[in-house]
Amino acid sequence: MPDPRPSPAERGREEPPEGERPSLRPRGRPWRTEGLPPEPGGPRFRIDWWKVASRVALVYLAVFAVLTLQDRLQGPTTVPYSEFQRQVEAGNVGEIFARGNTIQGALREPKPVPEEEGETYERFVTERPVFADDDLMAALTETGATIRARPVAEERGVFANLLLSMAPILVLVAFYLWLFRRQQRMGPGMFGGQKKKPVDPETVRVTFDDVAGIDEVEREIQEIVDYLKNPEKFRELGARAPKGVLLTGPPGTGKTLLARATAGEAGVPFFQTSASEFIEMLVGVGASRVRELFQAAREVAPSIIFIDEIDTIGRARGATHAMGGHDEREQTLNQILTEMDGFSGAEGVIVLAATNRPDILDPALLRAGRFDRQIVVNAPDRDGRKAILEVHVRKVKLDPSVDLEQIARITPGMTGADLANLVNEAALLAVRRGHEAVRHEDFTDALEKVQLGTARNIVLPPEERRRTAYHEAGHALLGMLQPGADPVRKVSIIPRGRALGVTLSTPESDRYGYDAKYLEGRMIGALGGMAAEQLVYGVTSTGAENDLEVCTGIARAMVGRWGMSERLGPVSVLPKEGDPRMFGVSEGALDALGEEVRRLVDQCYRRALELLEQHRDKLDAIVEALLARETLDEAELYEVAGIPRRTDEGTGTARVSTRD
């Protein structure tokens, strides 16, 4: 029996009943929509201010031209002063206006224009020479001419006077229109807004086919899709969908894409916003925008609201009195709590939110009945990276030499966003090289650029170049000698970014837990560059700055967070952020922490020196090969050093050692 319910695509296109039309997003509101049905009668009229300005300018130019032509046609005719004298003597001048030596006036009867056949004039203007000694006043008085105190030829028509009188009003109206539009953009809840045409769901929506590498998360979110597609099935058994789902995980793991795919798979409207867009200087604007967002979602239910970076407004509320922006943030958070608590479960509105800091969220936001479910979106494993690469290369023309399995193996720790960037960089590199398709070497070179940085065209002095070679060779040799260390993939003395040389190590397989022995090996490898310089030159340089930061960070975490110190024991004295003293850690514990960190670093440094002294011949061989070739890959490096390649498990993340 066929299913009478419409498909998600058909349901996304069908018209809602009359009286339940959705109110589309006004221009300037802090959210974006997908999948909303079209507005009745099409999109509302929208003012194009550029067209309005251009038309006003054209009207102004036309009026200016008409008035100018009017002045030219109706204006006075310039005549010689001698012609003016003849008309005065003939008694034909009816009225005049004089300002300085300029005389304007009108004749009683029109007369021919001198030296112009067929043209007559009645109004005139002339210039009285400064050397004229005639008694003009007496002559005009004798003929009965009228001498006025204002010019007789400067009066404008009714149309010009009307425009001039309305000009201030038009300027004032234009100013208020501009002010209204600006307030509309800054605070749409205060003045309303224009309707905006919704995004076409057929062109922008994504589904679970566009999401890869997080299959376990898709299974968790599938219940949301099932509820939005067939809510009656849940209601019959008395079940309800979670009111809210919180997606947590590192940046770039696909939290936003997963939320959009959930809406696309269910075929429902999708409202996307960032929590920071609710915060304004004016207190109360954020809460108003939250009310508008939830009301718009209810009107087109079933629907999904997605709030990205919710930790911006969802931070735990403190006991101290908040002022200013904190007051606005707390009011916005309170409104979100109220709106989510007001769901009865029958509206069909699901709230999805994303953050990479779930530990700082307010407990009221995480309680059952608001965000009922928390889903962790981690970085993908090797199989997941391969699946993500397959998604991103759909529209890329690949050469048969491309091996996605190998690329996935050498990119541990990369998120979906990193892999998308890698595919794009490889495609750009293939275009620059003029390849007809993206080759495997384009991917490896793009990965080198992403992980190691862009090569700089600088020439190092021979002594500095050799010192850099010893520094990187020390990293590489200790990485090959240490048991359980990540295999060294590439060593280069080509300056990249801020580094003069780089050593890249990546694991053979993903690993998620580290023991003390492995961490000490990482510290020894990080100190290999500094130890090599000390062994060969007897001094160290500033190039070991990054290595010391890495080594000290590992030692501090081992002692202060992971309980890997006999002196401090299995306690954690270093919080993830903030001053340890604020959490009750004593000064004595902090002093012991510093001493243990120093002991660990000194112990690893001595071990690095011992290993390099024992294998000095291998160190010199790597240096000579680097000076000759500048870059050594994994196979060349192990061959030059004469060390068999190992396939031990590593950290699950790529590691880069540099010399600054």
Catalytic residues: 472
Q: Residue ranges of the alpha helices (H) in 245-361?
A: 255-266, 285-299, 325-341
**Three-state DSSP class for residue 538:** coil
Q: In whole angstroms, how far apart are CA 257 and each of 265, 393, 394, 410?
A: 12, 17, 17, 24
| Of residues 366, 134, 330, the one with CA closest to residue 248 | 366
Q: Report how far residue 572's alpha carbon sits from residue 565's, in angstroms, rounded to the nearest whole number.
A: 11
Q: In whole angstroms, how far apart are CA 593 and each of 416, 570, 621?
A: 38, 13, 40
Parallel, antiparallel, or unpaired for β 93-99 and 102-112?
A: antiparallel
Contact criterion met (CB below 8 Å) for 600 and 520: yes
Work out the number of other CB atoms within 10 angstroms of the CB of residue 228. Answer: 23
For CA atoms 404, 406, 407, 411, the dihedral sign is positive
Helix-strand-coil percent breakdown of the chain, rounded to 5? 50, 15, 35
Q: Report how far residue 400's alpha carbon sits from residue 386's, in angstroms, rounded to the nearest whole number.
A: 16
**Three-state DSSP class for residue 533:** helix
Contact criterion met (CB below 8 Å) for 494 and 630: yes
Residues forming beta bridges with residue 106, ordered by sequence position: 95, 123
Strand order in the sheet with 244-248: 32-34, 270-274, 303-308, 349-355, 244-248, 373-376
The DSSP code for 552 is: H
Q: Read off the tokens for 569.
A: 């024991």
Residue 633 makes CB contacts below 8 A (sequence gap 6+) with 489, 490
Q: In whole angstroms, how far apart are CA 273 and each of 296, 486, 581?
A: 13, 41, 38
For CA atoms 492, 469, 639, 521, the dihedral sign is negative
CA gyration radius for the chain?
Answer: 41
Q: Report how far residue 380's alpha carbon sits from residue 391's, in angstroms, rounded to the nearest whole number.
A: 14
Residues forming beta bridges with residue 77, ordered by sequence position: 124
Q: Report how far residue 285's alpha carbon sits from residue 249's, in angstroms, rounded to the nearest whole number.
A: 30
Classify burial at 508, counting beta carbons within 10 Å of its beta carbon; exposed 0-12, middle 13-18, buried 19 or more. Answer: middle
Q: Report how far residue 584's alpha carbon sits from residue 579's, in angstroms, rounded to the nearest whole number.
A: 10
Work out the number of other CB atoms within 10 angstroms of the CB of residue 101. Answer: 12
Strand order in the sheet with 631-633: 631-633, 488-492, 501-505, 655-659
